[in-house]
Amino acid sequence: MSLMNKKIKINTNDINFGGTSLKGYVSTTYDKLVEVLGEPITDIEKSTAHWNIEAPDGTVATIYDWKNWSTPMGEYEWHIGGHSEKALWLVELLLGTPVLAYECYNVSVA
């Protein structure tokens, strides 16, 4: 059975997103996120839009903007948080959009 045939929690009060950290980025629009995930949580410190997601296997992912004065509406590199890199897989699967791991994004070329 595929993940898409199972119950995925989005923005429910029982998702344990405490202790998540930056794992990567996904380039997409606010409208695409709302289309797939529904309306965001808007009362998170240092974020104007935030989604908490939990897969049936317990993988937790968060998608959020960071330190913006207003919610980005156009194409934006949204932050992906999680307890592990499995969060990247979950976001990529849900959005159908490639993600970039933080380790790859943060590499400088000499």
Q: CB under 8 Å to 59, separation ≥6 — which residues? A: 82, 83, 84, 86, 87, 89, 90
Could you tell me the pLDDT band of residue 32, with boundaries at 50, 70 and 90?
Answer: very high
Q: Which of 13, 19, 18, 2 is nearest to 90 (CA)?
A: 2
- 33-90 pLDDT, tens digit each: 999 999 998 877 788 899 999 999 999 999 999 887 878 788 999 999 999 999 999 9
Which of 3-17, 56-70, 91-105 bottoms out in mean pLDDT, i.e. has the lowest? 3-17
Please report the pLDDT score of residue 104 as a whole number.
61
Provide the whole-model pTM.
Answer: 0.85
